[in-house]
Amino acid sequence: MESRRPEAVGPLPVVLTIAGSDPSAGAGLQADLLTLASLGVHGCTAVTALTVQDSVNVRGYTPVDPQDTVAQARAVLEDMSVQVIKIGMLGSAAMVAAVSALLADHSQIPVVLDPVLAAGGGMALAGDGLREALVTRLLPRVTVMTPNGPEALALSGTGDLPAAGVWLNRHGAEWALISGGHGEEPELENLLFRGEVLRRTFRQARLPHSYHGSGCTLAAALAAGLAHGLTMEEAVARALDFTHACLVHAYPLGKGQYFPDRFFWARRHREGPDGRR
């Protein structure tokens, strides 16, 4: 069958993700690439760490030399017009320092920071001094950060999420979206802060499973929306909706967490009669 090219739409927007590799392809840069591709964005990668993990937990990781990570990023940035930089697992204070220096040379590019401190199974993905380095060196350069509740509390040292959001703004993050997936309530609340004020609360129904790479999906989807030119509030709303849909269609592959389906919209053949599997 002859394949026809679709109408010319111009080049895709480009997002550079600076993140760790996950061999199970549920989280990390693999999650980012799937999410970005699903949302019509070309994803480029600068690898920060090689994790060894499955759907249950992380068994270990080897950090990449920060100069090699930055060299990967510079190769992309010198070649292409990058609309948004998305940052995931950095792992060490030395990596934060190297990435901060890189960002200083590209001050016009918006930055989405998903502050990865631990894997879904609980193992730490953070070396000594990572928290302090994130707060003092990276936060002032962040357009929007996307911690989950425990990460927001750990980073800020505050006792509740409203105080954590204010604290993150005060320490430099222009916008802070604290996702609510880690609580227990049947309806979860995602809190969006700007200027030390809670701007909006996005409510969603809690889903039954634990998911591998949900935070990565949310942050990458947010980066995609910004790369397409959406306003922050619109990009947040759409990223939350997209992530929720990926989780509704998530599937078990291994012995642990479910895997979000970032291409749920392309899988009509797997649907059951009720539109779900």
| Residue ranges in contact with ligand PLP by CB under 6 A | 19-20, 22, 27-28, 51, 53, 58, 88-89, 116, 119-120, 125, 212-216
Question: Whole-number minimum distance, CB 90 to ligand PLP, in Å?
Answer: 10
Closer of 22 and 174 to ligand PLP (Cβ): 22
SS3 per-residue string spanning the chain? CCCCCCCCCCCCCEEEEEEEECCCCCCHHHHHHHHHHHCCCEEEEEEEEEEEECCCCEEEEEECCHHHHHHHHHHHHHHCCCCEEEECCCCCHHHHHHHHHHHHCCCCCCEEECCCCECCCCCECCCCCHHHHHHHHHHHHCCEECCEHHHHHHHHCCCCHHHHHHHHHHCCCCEEEEECCCCCCCEEEEEEEECCEEEEEEEEECCCCCECCHHHHHHHHHHHHHHCCCCHHHHHHHHHHHHHHHHHCCEECCCCCEECCCCHHHCHHHCCCCCCC
Residue with Cβ nearer ligand PLP (13 or 63)? 63
CB of 8 to ligand PLP, least distance (A): 35
Report, in Å, the least distance between residue 5 CB and ligand PLP: 35
Q: Quick one: 24 or 83, whose CB is closer to ligand PLP?
A: 24
Residue closer to ligand PLP by CB (options 19, 145) is 19
Q: Work out how close the CB of 239 gets to ligand PLP at its nearest, in angstroms, rounded to a whole number.
A: 13
Residue 151 Cβ vs ligand PLP, minimum distance, rounded to whole Å = 8
Q: Which is nearer to ligand PLP, 112 or 199 (CB)?
A: 112
